[in-house]
Amino acid sequence: MPEPGGYEALMSRALELAHNGPATGINPRVGCVIVGADGGIIAEGWHRGVGTAHAEVDALGKLPHGRARGATAVVTLEPCNHTGHTGPCSVALIEAGIARVVYAVSDPGHASGGGAARLRAAGVEVIAGVHAREVGAFLNDWLTAARLGRPFVTVKWASSLDGRIAASDGTSQWITGTAARQRVHEQREGSDAIVVGTGTVLADDPSLTARGDGGELLAAQPTPVVVGTRSIPADAAVLRHPHTPVILATHDVAGVLRDLRARGFRRVYVEGGPTLVSAFVAAGLVDEYLIYLAPSLIGGDRLALGDIGVTTIGEQRRLDIVSVEQLGTDLLITARPRATAASTPKEGIQ
């Protein structure tokens, strides 16, 4: 059996397995390897989505009865401690006779957390914090949603270098090039829901689908969400979306997120327009910014953001740049609200 400090390679393997899980939906992507007394892997598992076996149970289910007794489970996320669609993984590990559990990051969920304490109370050795930074980055969207009790919110806009999203006559197609626009479709595909305001539907009549280079529908489609109190036309393109649109006649963006969380959405992609985007920013409800910049100047007052509550320079919303990528002649800047030490997973054995 590996020493307490020798689980990095096994955790890396568990993380590889976690990538097999679905990137959308309310549940996290989790991987697990079970290691025998000789340090060799005897079973592997991962979570395949809501209603399916969690990673630990998936791995245990591949072993004959009694084979897990005295073994070590290496799992990317602290084993859950509640009954939802399935039972608690902490109990499953205890009943299987697992002697040691190694995990990367703690479960911040009010209902699902606490598995480590339950394991320790049952006499199972628990080691936490192995590859916490790497796994924490992978699970960032789910951890944020679990900690805040709402979906992870990505806001996207495309603008000229001077921050304009349209010309003075309202035309905006196209500010950015084909490579940037295709990346947007890929990001839509990786989201549970795509959110726009009624103003965008009335002005642009978007379909809000995720499409490939040839205009074909991609395999996964976000559920379209239209927010606002104005009526939309009966023949609006969004009403022909593969998923039935969610129409929310409100301006309460926090309420919108509560609704979408209740529907089982983990990742929400807010795509417009400036009134809706500004409301999310002003409310402090944005976890990630995707800003596409075209090498052009437009001028005028069609800005990407309106009033976000900043009245003096000391109130400006500070961001951390995560990455800058060139797509054709355009730039994609990925940024997040400035991180605090408390929000950064700690690496190391705990």
Q: Give the catalytic positions in this structure.
A: 56
Distance CA 75, CA 65 (A): 20
Q: Are 299 and 164 in contact (CB under 8 A)?
A: yes
Token match 């020798």: residue?
Answer: 6
Pairing label, strands 267-272, 31-35? unpaired
Write the Ramachandran bin of 32: left for phi over 0, alpha for psi from -120 to 50, otherwise beta.
beta
Specify the amino acid at residue 75.
V
Distance CA 330, CA 27 (A): 34
The C-alpha R_g of the chain, in whole angstroms, comes to 23
Alpha carbon distance, N-terminus to C-terminus of the chain: 19
Q: In what order do the strands lie in the sheet with 72-77?
A: 41-46, 31-35, 72-77, 100-105, 125-128
Token match 């602290």: residue?
Answer: 78
Distance CA 140, CA 132 (A): 11
Specify the amino acid at residue 325.
E
Positive or negative torsion for Cα 157, 159, 164, 169? negative
Q: Are 157 and 176 in contact (CB under 8 A)?
A: no
Distance CA 343, CA 260 (A): 24
Q: Largest alpha-carbon pair distance within the chain?
A: 72
Q: Are 90 and 80 in contact (CB under 8 A)?
A: yes
Assigned token pair, 18: 């976690």
